[in-house]
A and B are shown apart, each in its own frame.
Chain A
């Protein structure tokens, strides 16, 4: 039991470290931080994208983009453990890759699995280098956890498909060049069976992107409306009515992210409790109740870290890490919410004052809202528990009353 690299891993780490040392994007990180201060969404987005694209292009030119992809598609042909080593070495600079996370993490693998060779050579390299940004058009007002309940229609018209409908919670749609889109092509058969996947140019006529104002007041997500949007049949991914299986490829990539930097709120709360004074003037960190709660949270947060270490060790041995990785978000997201609420409570009535500063208390206040989204995005807490119960523990799936019903006969209460 040790934390040491194998000689090959150490060699790879040295290579990555040397390149990062020589190309540190400290100036771009400053640009990224400065973008935070900009209130106007379009101006902020433009500033973030400029910094992110500069770093991504630099990495791609040197062969450090999308490491696990084959070289001919803009990657490096790296092993999973090499990707983890790169992530560790890139560290905080990885924040610059935020705008590309969904495109490279989810759309790319789907395109790689289902697009034609010509399309792969056309679209994957610029996706890897950040020159083109992709989004994922899955969730709908009527299809969230029950994604297969989606209603956006695709109807065949010659060599094209005509798209009508609405997507929601689309991260980055307002700055993306392309997207992968799941649609309903046959409403007269069971819901999982009548779906088809496409990719499309986000500038196609009839695509309208509108920001969603979130509970926090911020707008990071969008609604996307489709009005008679034409997509050539050549941009279909997978067979007609096989879109559900195609989407599973995408979603598997969403939940399979090893050693990902998950915010838990524990370091922020530790700093907060060390600074905060109780009514009698003693540090909150001396309070019995505060210590008890923090100890529980710290142990859970540490448990996530060492669970990731176990997964990395499995990768290092060439094994496929087990499903224990799916617990990360389920542990971290509700914990950040509990921590944020407790930090407010410790301040008494003053805790109610809204703040957006960078102090520990300010960060925890913002977490109060961020946590709502964390608990939903990429699978709600409840969906994650179902996944663990069914796929890890082997418990039976829920009884699905709409499974064998034609989609257009499923009750909707008129909504």
Chain B
């Protein structure tokens, strides 16, 4: 059994970590958080130069043609560094959807641009409160023109193109739902910033009024494509989450060793130690579950849906626990703007929602366990 990343994959992780530790410090994260930029263009360019935007894109479309495992190790580092770049929307969502459902022409047009850092992509899914369902999709396409309103579009203000989930046939089930590529800088599109719990990542409300829409895949298959890509993205975001969880745990540990109270380091009090031990346990379980997700993703195994939900539930809970306990260990200092605790607290809560709520993923996990048990 070799349930671990290879030496080459670990080298890639080290390379990504080195680049990010030099170029993506809390200073860069705060610049975006405080509204000085909508993303860090320098980091984005650096990731493109290192070939990290097209890792999983086939060579014929300008990528490195490596696998999803390589993507996982990079995702962990981006999460650890809180990278303020549109990586997840471009790479996990837009790029994966293009590879899954795109025509040859669409792939030829977009994938090389993504790999080169020349096109930022996103997925426009959410329209209303609650987790997205086929019923919640009310944006419509008629005669190649898209009309409707999407909200919480990740990187909505900076994306060059969006893959929009919309319906061509009225109704409330998945049959009329399709995917459409829309030029976000073109006519009939207006994006307005939405401030979220974590402003170090851009989100926007986007109004489409007769925007030209290029169909991606078949009408009626759009929802199942979104479903599949959500599973893939769940594994990748789980790696961002375990990267962040590990960093939050380290910060808490370091502070507990350093901070003196009552004449001793606070890390010598069992109440503090046990809190940190619980963080370690959650982070360890989440890492192991993410590895299983990575295996399922990289082999496109039949277990992917269950493995992805399992990784997602575990990683969401671990990151939220580590981020909130890290602030708690820091006491009053953790509540200041100056300390970095809130950056992780913010990101943990954003990522917990970004692909659908914890409840949604818990339900997916139980559904998949049920299917497996019924088949056994």
Task: Report the minimum CB–CB distance from B330 to chain A (whole Å).
Answer: 15
Enumerate chain A residues within 8 angstroms of B288, measured Cβ to Cβ: 302-307, 309-310
Query: When chains A and B are docked, how far (Å) is the Cα of A300 from the Cα of B317?
Result: 10
Query: When chains A and B are docked, how far (Å) is the Cα of A17 from the Cα of B39?
Result: 57
The reply to whether B278 and A385 contact each other, CB–CB distance below 8 Å, is yes
Query: When chains A and B are docked, how far (Å) is the Cα of A340 from the Cα of B110?
Result: 53
Evaluate whether A389 and B370 lie within 8 angstroms (CB atoms) in the complex, with A304-B285, A395-B257 already known.
no
Query: When chains A and B are docked, how far (Å) is the Cα of A299 from the Cα of B364?
Result: 12
Q: Which of B1-15 contact A (CB under 8 A)?
A: 1-6
Task: Report the minimum CB–CB distance from A320 to chain B (whole Å).
Answer: 14
Cβ-based interface call for A234 (8 A): no
Q: Which of B264-285 contact A (CB under 8 A)?
A: 264-265, 267-268, 270, 272-274, 276-278, 280-281, 284-285
Which single residue of chain A is at the shortest CB-CB distance from B307?
A302
Evaluate whether A395 and B285 lie within 8 angstroms (CB atoms) in the complex, with A382-B274, A386-B273 already known.
no
**Count of residues in B whose CB is under 8 Å from the partner chain:** 48
The reply to whether A306 and B264 contact each other, CB–CB distance below 8 Å, is no
* Stretch of A50-58, A99-107, A288-296 that contacts chain B: A288-296
Cβ-based interface call for B289 (8 A): yes
The reply to whether B268 and A397 contact each other, CB–CB distance below 8 Å, is yes
Task: Report the minimum CB–CB distance from B217 to chain A (whole Å).
Answer: 30
Enumerate chain A residues within 8 angstroms of B291, measured Cβ to Cβ: 1, 306, 309-310
* Stretch of B87-95, B181-189, B200-208, B292-300 that contacts chain A: B292-300
Cβ-based interface call for B137 (8 A): no
The reply to whether B1 and A388 contact each other, CB–CB distance below 8 Å, is no
Query: When chains A and B are docked, how far (Å) is the Cα of A302 from the Cα of B310?
Result: 8
The reply to whether A313 and B369 contact each other, CB–CB distance below 8 Å, is no
Q: Which of B311-328 contact A (CB under 8 A)?
A: 313-314, 317
Which of the listed residues B2, B270, B317, B369 has the most CB atoms from chain A within 10 Å of its own CB? B2
Cβ-based interface call for A399 (8 A): yes
Cβ-based interface call for B256 (8 A): yes
Cβ-based interface call for A324 (8 A): yes
Cβ-based interface call for B66 (8 A): no
Enumerate chain B residues within 8 angstroms of A5, measured Cβ to Cβ: 1
Query: When chains A and B are docked, how far (Å) is the Cα of A292 from the Cα of B363?
Result: 7
The reply to whether A389 and B284 contact each other, CB–CB distance below 8 Å, is no
Enumerate chain B residues within 8 angstroms of A395, measured Cβ to Cβ: 253, 256-257, 265, 267-268, 272-273, 276
Task: Report the minimum CB–CB distance from A390 to chain B (whole Å).
Answer: 7
Enumerate chain B residues within 8 angstroms of A2, measured Cβ to Cβ: 1-3, 295
Which of the listed residues B1, B278, B284 has the most CB atoms from chain A within 10 Å of its own CB? B1
Which of the listed residues B273, B298, B373 has the most CB atoms from chain A within 10 Å of its own CB? B273
Task: Report the minimum CB–CB distance from B368 to chain A (whole Å).
Answer: 10
Cβ-based interface call for B126 (8 A): no
Query: When chains A and B are docked, how far (Å) is the Cα of A296 from the Cα of B316?
Result: 11
Contact partner, A299, options B1, B4, B298, B314, Cβ 8 Å: B314
Which single residue of chain B is at the shortest CB-CB distance from A327?
B281
Enumerate chain B residues within 8 angstroms of A292, measured Cβ to Cβ: 359, 362
Enumerate chain B residues within 8 angstroms of A388, measured Cβ to Cβ: 277, 280-281
Query: When chains A and B are docked, how far (Å) is the Cα of A324 from the Cα of B6?
Result: 20
Enumerate chain B residues within 8 angstroms of A300, measured Cβ to Cβ: 285, 314
Query: When chains A and B are docked, how far (Å) is the Cα of A368 from the Cα of B246?
Result: 34
Query: When chains A and B are docked, how far (Å) is the Cα of A327 from the Cα of B286?
Result: 13
Which single residue of chain B is at the shortest CB-CB distance from A294?
B366
Cβ-based interface call for A393 (8 A): yes
Q: Which of B96-130 contact A (CB under 8 A)?
A: none
Enumerate chain A residues within 8 angstroms of B5, measured Cβ to Cβ: 1
The reply to whether B276 and A302 contact each other, CB–CB distance below 8 Å, is no
Which single residue of chain A is at the shortest CB-CB distance from B263?
A399
Cβ-based interface call for B248 (8 A): no
Beyond A299-B310, A312-B1, 7 additional pairs, beta carbon < 8 A: A2-B1, A285-B366, A295-B361, A298-B366, A306-B292, A327-B284, A393-B253
Contact partner, A313, options B1, B265, B363, Cβ 8 Å: B1
Enumerate chain A residues within 8 angstroms of B373, measured Cβ to Cβ: 270, 274
Query: When chains A and B are docked, how far (Å) is the Cα of A68 from the Cα of B286?
Result: 31
Query: When chains A and B are docked, how far (Å) is the Cα of A386 from the Cα of B278?
Result: 10
Enumerate chain B residues within 8 angstroms of A291, measured Cβ to Cβ: 362-363, 366
Cβ-based interface call for A117 (8 A): no
Evaluate whether A394 and B253 lie within 8 angstroms (CB atoms) in the complex, with A1-B294, A294-B366, A299-B313 already known.
yes
